[in-house]
């Protein structure tokens, strides 16, 4: 009887471990956009009504970095930064900011980043011959 219980527990644990990666990851909501401020020539700082902070950096025409933190603070990558991450934006980045009541758009020659205001959501599209292709 004890062996069956152990096998059942082991089988259940194995099944859960195999199934877990197949489940979709769900991010916690960060609230609605409360404010947007420029943070340098190629960066935006977004604050939400729940106290979250996001920083969006346009590093190149085809590279956008998004950092997010709770309680109004961002933490550095520490030693976990991938060596492929650019530390500073390319000086020649051409980015335009467009706004309306529903969203903010960050537009480069290669990408279009949509920042929905309520609730705060990000959607990135690649531009292919001026046609937006969802990523």
3-state helix vs strand vs coil in the chain, percent to 5: 20, 40, 40
Contact 103, 117 (CB under 8 A): yes
Contact 105, 84 (CB under 8 A): no
> How many structural domains compose the chain?
1
pTM of model > 0.75: no
Assign residue 40 the CATH number of its domain: 2.60.40.1760
Is 118 part of any domain? yes
Which residues constitute the domain of residue 121? 32-72+80-134
> Which tens digits make up the pLDDT trace of 35-74?
999 988 889 999 999 999 999 999 889 989 899 998 888 8
Contact 45, 30 (CB under 8 A): no
């Amino acid at each position: 009887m004890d062996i069956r219980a152990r096998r059942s527990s082991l089988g259940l644990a194995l099944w859960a471990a195999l199934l877990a990666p197949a489940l979709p990851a769900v991010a916690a909501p960060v609230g609605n956009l409360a404010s947007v401020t420029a943070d340098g020539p190629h960066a935006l700082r977004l604050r939400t009504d729940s106290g979250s902070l996001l920083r969006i950096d346009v590093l190149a025409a085809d590279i956008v970095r998004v950092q997010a933190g709770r309680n109004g603070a961002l933490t550095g990558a520490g030693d976990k930064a991938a060596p492929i991450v650019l530390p500073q934006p390319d000086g020649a980045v051409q980015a335009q900011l467009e706004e309306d009541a529903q969203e903010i758009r960050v537009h480069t020659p290669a990408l279009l980043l949509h920042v929905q205001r309520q609730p705060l959501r990000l959607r990135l599209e690649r531009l292919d011959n001026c046609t937006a292709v969802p990523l």
